[in-house]
Amino acid sequence: MKKPKKSKICLKFLHSISFLTFLFLLYSPALAQKGEFCLIYFTKVGCPYCAISDPIVLSKWLGEYPKLRIIEYLINDEENSQLFEKYAYTYPKVYPYVPQLIISQENVAIGLDQVVKVEKLINESEFNPCLLLEGQVNFSNLDLGLLPAHPKVWVGNKLILPGSSRLNSTLILELIESPDPASYLDSLGIAYQRIEPEIIPISGGRGIKFEKALRIDDWVIEWNEYGAGKVVELSESSSEIQSYILLIFIILLGLALLSGVLQRKVLKKKAAPKK
């Protein structure tokens, strides 16, 4: 009997290795979705610690780590606050304190000190799925239109504000990856409206500013040609102005009351009989 030729043995061996590699990639989501690191971020305008963490998480990190995908919930919004409570009920390690980054069911960063330390994990890891209430989902498999409450989705040099209309999830992901979303929609012949980008408020009297923006149905996409959104100082917001007006009113009311008390004392003194 003739022995099999070495070339045929090598060929069979290579086919076997290729097949095993395919199976390994197929059943290894972390490798199949390499390069997307998703975080859920709960924050609040008016929180002093969030005033430090917001620029780091929503600008600095996004400019330094292209793989980063952040789903932000501002708990000043009632629906977002209720969602935060649901996370705390569903996952024992989640507590209703901000700032907070949810990495996984077992890994949650609560408070400023823990949040800023997450950068080391981002730097050392290639992949992390998004932890939703239903469980973990790879970002590239997300339908952003089905995210609960009112999220903001931050990816590199872009911000996506999902609307209530049902847009094709593949289209949204392609717009996220596109260098110029407007040009991409033009190439597909899809109607949209160019709009003036709005500064996105963050804590500490600041906001994040982008250069360009468009609206497609009731979705909004803001982006920069290069780099993440820029942190800028905001003029006093209406809520802050109202707080100052209230404070001034209280001070004036106090002065008026004090003036009335002093006037009564003077009148009593004048009315008192002289000895």
Among 110, 113, 120, CA closest to 61: 120
Give the total number of structural domains in the chain: 1
How sure is the predictor about 271, in pLDDT bands with cuts at 50, 70 and 90? low
Looking from the CA of 99 toward its CB, the CA atoms found within 13 Å total 29
pLDDT in tens, 91-130: 999 999 999 999 999 999 999 999 999 999 999 999 999 9
Q: What is the DSSP string of 186-246?
A: HHHT---EE-PPPPEEETTTEEEE-SEEEEETTEEEEE-SSSSPEEEEPPPPHHHHHHHHH
How sure is the predictor about 51, in pLDDT bands with cuts at 50, 70 and 90? very high
Q: Report the pLDDT value the prediction gives residue 242, as an integer from 0 to 100.
A: 53
Q: What is the rounded distance in angstroms from the CA atom of residue 176 to the CA atom of residue 41?
A: 19
How sure is the predictor about 273, in pLDDT bands with cuts at 50, 70 and 90? low
**Phi then psi dihedrals of residue 139, to 5 deg:** -55, -40
How sure is the predictor about 43, in pLDDT bands with cuts at 50, 70 and 90? very high
Q: Report the pLDDT value the prediction gives residue 21, as an integer from 0 to 100.
A: 42
Residue 96 is assigned to a structural domain of this protein: yes
Q: Which residue has the tokens 């999220």?
A: 151
Q: What is the rounded distance in angstroms from the CA atom of residue 256 to the CA atom of residue 252?
A: 6
Q: Is 238 a residue whose pLDDT tops 50?
A: no
Q: Phi-psi bin for 111: left (phi > 0), alpha (psi -120 to 50), beta?
A: left
**Phi then psi dihedrals of residue 58, to 5 deg:** -95, -5
Q: Report the pLDDT value the prediction gives residue 14, as an integer from 0 to 100.
A: 46
Q: Is 182 a residue whose pLDDT tops 70?
A: yes
Q: Report the pLDDT value the prediction gives residue 29, as an integer from 0 to 100.
A: 42
- CATH classification of the domain holding 57: 3.40.30.10
**Please, are residues 34 and 126 in contact by the beta-carbon 8 Å criterion?**
yes
Residue 257 is assigned to a structural domain of this protein: no
Residue 63 is assigned to a structural domain of this protein: yes
How sure is the predictor about 253, in pLDDT bands with cuts at 50, 70 and 90? confident
* Domain with 42 in it: 30-233
How sure is the predictor about 202, in pLDDT bands with cuts at 50, 70 and 90? very high
Q: Report the pLDDT value the prediction gives residue 2, as an integer from 0 to 100.
A: 52
**Please, are residues 137 and 130 in contact by the beta-carbon 8 Å criterion?**
yes
Among 53, 195, 65, 46, CA closest to 112: 53
Residue 259 is assigned to a structural domain of this protein: no
Instruction: State the sign of the Cα–Cα–Cα–Cα dihedral 120, 121, 127, 128.
Output: negative
Q: Is 36 a residue whose pLDDT tops 80?
A: yes
Residue 258 is assigned to a structural domain of this protein: no
Q: What is the DSSP string of 59-117?
A: IIHHHH-TTEEEEEEETTSHHHHHHHHHHHHH-TT--S-SSEEE-SSS-EEESHHHHHH
Q: Report the pLDDT value the prediction gives residue 235, as an integer from 0 to 100.
A: 76
Residue 8 is assigned to a structural domain of this protein: no
Residue 19 is assigned to a structural domain of this protein: no
Q: Report the pLDDT value the prediction gives residue 176, as an integer from 0 to 100.
A: 94
Q: Report the pLDDT value the prediction gives residue 171, as an integer from 0 to 100.
A: 95
Compute the mean pLDDT over every residue in the chain, rounded to the nearest whole number.
Answer: 86
pLDDT in tens, 53-74: 999 999 999 999 999 999 999 9
Residue 153 is assigned to a structural domain of this protein: yes
**Please, are residues 201 and 238 in contact by the beta-carbon 8 Å criterion?**
no
How sure is the predictor about 248, in pLDDT bands with cuts at 50, 70 and 90? confident
Q: Report the pLDDT value the prediction gives residue 146, as an integer from 0 to 100.
A: 95
pTM, rounded to two decimals: 0.75
Q: What is the rounded distance in angstroms from the CA atom of residue 234 to the CA atom of residue 236?
A: 6
Q: Is 33 a residue whose pLDDT tops 60?
A: no
Q: Is 237 a residue whose pLDDT tops 50?
A: no
